[in-house]
Structure 1
């Protein structure tokens, strides 16, 4: 082979190696950069923030919701004659307790578990005020019921509606326009 032909082949091989090296390095840096730039997916799972603390302190299991019905301090002052929903329960060794929820929008949804509920009071503080709320309840025997909560009054459920009724567990609150 002539020297010129050998040089041409060597040059072609060198170019091929250089191109392959640049391509490999580029692919590697792209992959590394892509891996380091990838952020975790922000997918809403609708789990309730602070649920473990609320469970420990109030015996209320907050499962999930859309953020429009939230656990609230029962001393929340009313705004435009609307305050908080009050759920009355005897879940703590027969002691009567009230836990409260604030409805923040015309619609809302909250899945929860509150055992031994006997009454739910709407958030309206005068007649005609308050949110329309449905409460889904169940008994230990699995009898499900849905009640319309009086927006500005009390709605007895379970043993609150009739002492011979089975105790009920509140499963869901849904606000509708």
Structure 2
């Protein structure tokens, strides 16, 4: 064999051995227990975005408006009643102002806690709400674009109801 061929063969063998050591360096039972460059990239990479459906800025809304907004799909959101029309409007005993929600898209849902709700004005969507009174749960269908008596105004005993879920669809 010519000297140049020997050098090429030895060089190729050395490159192959180096590649093998690099690949097996971070694998348990491999040549070394050191962290491989691949592991560093994976460990340092940003995580995946996972939607948890928690209402954004719920703590701030609770502190400012005393409204508990829990989870939803983003299609029913708290709105300023003076900011437009076509909102779901909610009346609450002991609150002078109405609470409004904007609905967008084909359908939406929102879980929340608003005590002492007694009336809801519907919009162009078909809307149903779930309310609780003690351990009992009641559902009400909201009439489109008009006021619907719910909670204590629809209860023969006049008990205070808490609004816990809104579901709307076109």
**Shorter-chain TM-score tier:** 0.7 to 0.9
Match of 2:136 among 143, 156, 163: 143
Match of 2:91 among 72, 88, 91: 88
> Is residue 159–residue 166 contact of structure 1 (8 Å, CA) maintained in 2?
yes
Q: How many residues align?
A: 150
Point out the more displaced range, 114-123 or 24-33: 24-33
Residue-by-residue CA offset, 1:77-127 (whole Å, 9 max, x unaligned): 23xxxx11111112xxx343311100012211001110010111112xxxx
Hey, what's the Cα distance between the residues in 2 that align with 1:143 and 1:34?
Answer: 50
Instruction: Tell me whether 1:33 sits opposite 2:41 in the alignment.
Output: yes
Q: 1:26 to 1:120 in 2, by over 3 A?
A: same
Q: How far did residue 176 of structure 1 move?
A: 2.1
Hey, what's the Cα distance between the residues in 2 that align with 1:23 and 1:106?
Answer: 51
Hey, what's the Cα distance between the residues in 2 that align with 1:23 and 1:115?
Answer: 62
Hey, what's the Cα distance between the residues in 1 that align with 2:101 and 2:147?
Answer: 15
- TM-score, normalisation: structure 1: 0.75
Hey, what's the Cα distance between the residues in 2 that align with 1:40 and 1:173?
Answer: 32
Query: Over aligned residues, Cα RMSD in angstroms?
Result: 2.4
Structure 2: gaps spanning 5 or more residues:
1-9, 28-35
What SS does the aligned partner of 1:75 have? helix
Give the ranges of 4+ consecutive aligned residues of structure 1 lying more than 6 Å apart after TM superposition.
Answer: none
The aligned residue for residue 53 of structure 1 is 60
Structure 1: gaps spanning 5 or more residues:
1-10, 124-129
Hey, what's the Cα distance between the residues in 2 that align with 1:25 and 1:48?
Answer: 45
